[in-house]
Amino acid sequence: MASTVVIVVIPDVGDALDELTLRGPVWLAATDENRVTAHRVRQRYPERSITTFTISPGMPPESQVLGVLPDVELHHGPSSQVPPWDRLEIQGTSITSALRSALEEFGATSFRDVAGGFQAVRSSDRAA
């Protein structure tokens, strides 16, 4: 069974958040616009998981992802969740060497571009 977690660093995700929450738990950069959107989605779909995380003004998307990865691993990794995440979808930035390296440290073994970002996949033996 696949376990997908979505990290969103788009400053104003808007209505796309509704669909992203269908893929799995969402970690959302806490801009003013995103906080309003998260509140709306939580009201409409209380069973969907949305966690907002603090970012510094002007922080590049790559740094936002790098900053939240340890928390995502803590909450959705093998020590906290069965099954642990085996797919991270990152929306709002493309893969960089720093992101690839950090994700590989958490066991990601393959990467692919998707609309609006990329996915990192780790095999089930690396996730356990």
- Which of 77-109 are b and which e, b meaning 16 or more Cβ less than 10 Å from the residue's Cβ? beeeeeebbbbbbbbbbebeeebeebbeebbbe
pLDDT higher than threshold 60 for residue 126: no
For residues 58 and 39, what is the distance between their CA atoms, to the nearest angstrom? 23
Domain ranges of the chain: 4-127
Instruction: Specify the amino acid at residue 28.
Output: L
What value does the mean pLDDT of the chain take?
94
pLDDT higher than threshold 60 for residue 8: yes
Instruction: Specify the amino acid at residue 57.
Output: P
The tens digit of pLDDT for each residue in 73-106 reads 999 999 998 999 999 999 999 999 999 999 999 9
67 burial (CB, 10 Å; 0-12 / 13-18 / 19+) is middle
The tens digit of pLDDT for each residue in 61-72 reads 999 999 999 999
pTM of the model: 0.95
DSSP states along 31-56: -HHHHHHHHHHHHH-TTS-EEEE---
Q: What integer pLDDT is reported at residue 64 of this predicted model?
A: 98
Q: What integer pLDDT is reported at residue 123 of this predicted model?
A: 81
Residues found in the chain: 128
